[in-house]
Amino acid sequence: MPERKRVLITGAAGFLGSHLCDRFIKEGFHVIGMDNLITGSLSNIEHLFKLEQFEFYHHDVSKFVFVPGELHYILHFASPASPIDYLKIPIQTLKVGSLGTHNLLGLARVKKARMLIASTSEVYGDPNVHPQNEDYWGNVNPIGPRGVYDEAKRFQEAITMAYHTYHDLETRIVRIFNTYGPRMRLDDGRALPAFMGQALRGQDITVFGDGSQTRSFCYVDDLVEGIYRLLFSDYVNPVNIGNPDEITIKEFAEEIIALTGTSQKIIYHPLPTDDPKQRRPDITRAQQILGWKPKVSRKEGLKITYDYFKNLPEFK
Ligand code: UDP
């Protein structure tokens, strides 16, 4: 049997990282997970520890990173990724996107590995162009509460392109739009876990602002498929991966109220600073280059996700 290709996944114990670990194991790779467990949880990858094709390093990628042996691919998914986390740990958020990316690019060079970075729709900030395509440069407030994430991710794209241009490193950049599914953290402050957690605890549903701001939610399996295709494509510029099915946050809250059958009502809280008014990916590039588009409807995806939350020990 040929040797398994070896992939390093940072942020392996997080929501997206853990789903990527599962996918690469399923595809026959040797997966090396890395996480400092600040926002990730070992429960997301506990099922992998019994496999000999999986190993795990408890390490902070903002510090020098070393992995013995060959590495063919690096997927950098370590980062806090919700507004509540950026407020709690802003410096770590900046460091993992900047210093962490630099360390991993250095590792990729030494190992001659291909590196894919997790960028984000946050690079578009509060967008003046709708829907957002990859040629839009964005509207970001560098010193606002989201600035630590947005600017780290913009720097991350810049340094990754520089390593590609000046060091001939093989690189890929995915811009991830709002994604949901099992293993999201209930307390991460994002709309979906907040609403589902509130429904399960019998609390009112907290919509921020008047709820007219929009988002477009992608189910995690669709996202992972897009990332997988991008890694094995030869395309170097950023690619949006997300679901263009746009909805206002008020309607989203109503969908979750209907799904969960909660008798709680919506209550309105002030809109957080710099909360983007609208967001929807233009996925033309992903469709043309990767032959990719999302398959899971919000109805299906929300049901799977709610079943996951409902079965957490806290609610049994
Ligand atoms: N939101 C809300 N109530 C909550 C949590 C979030 O109305 O309890 C809003 C938030 O202000 C934003 C939208 O839902 O307009 C999506 O928030 P999320 O944190 O999920 O994603 P992001 O703002 O990073 O796109």
Which residues on adjacent β-strands are paired with residue 179? 218
Q: Which domains does the chain have, with CATH numbers?
A: 6-180+218-244+281-295 (3.40.50.720)
Pocket flag, ligand 1, residue 194 (CB < 6 Å): yes
- CA–CA dist 315, 234 (Å, integer): 45
Are 295 and 220 in contact by the 8 Å Cβ rule? The answer is: no
Using alpha carbons, select from 274, 276, 216 the residue that is nearest to residue 247: 216
- CA–CA dist 160, 102 (Å, integer): 8
pLDDT in tens, the chain (316 residues): 568 999 999 999 999 999 999 999 999 999 999 999 999 999 999 999 999 999 999 999 999 999 999 999 999 999 999 989 988 999 999 999 999 999 999 999 999 999 999 999 999 999 999 999 999 999 999 999 999 999 999 999 999 999 999 999 999 999 999 999 999 999 899 999 999 999 999 999 999 999 999 999 999 999 999 999 999 999 999 999 999 999 999 999 999 999 999 999 999 999 999 999 999 999 999 999 999 999 999 999 999 999 999 999 999 8
Atom 23 of ligand 1, nearest CA residue = 275
- CA–CA dist 157, 175 (Å, integer): 10
Give, in order, the Cα–Cα distances in Å from 78 to each of 17, 195, 196, 225, 278.
Answer: 8, 25, 25, 19, 26
- CA–CA dist 203, 112 (Å, integer): 51
- CA–CA dist 34, 57 (Å, integer): 5
Pocket flag, ligand 1, residue 206 (CB < 6 Å): yes
Ligand 1 centre to CA of 114 (Å) is: 33
Positions annotated as catalytic residues are: 149
Q: What digits encode the pLDDT tens for the residues 81-109?
A: 998 998 899 999 999 999 999 999 999 99
Pocket flag, ligand 1, residue 82 (CB < 6 Å): yes
Pocket flag, ligand 1, residue 207 (CB < 6 Å): yes
Ligand 1 centre to CA of 88 (Å) is: 16
Ligand 1 centre to CA of 105 (Å) is: 32
Task: Provide the 3-class DSSP secondary structure of residue 216.
Answer: strand
Ligand 1 centre to CA of 248 (Å) is: 10
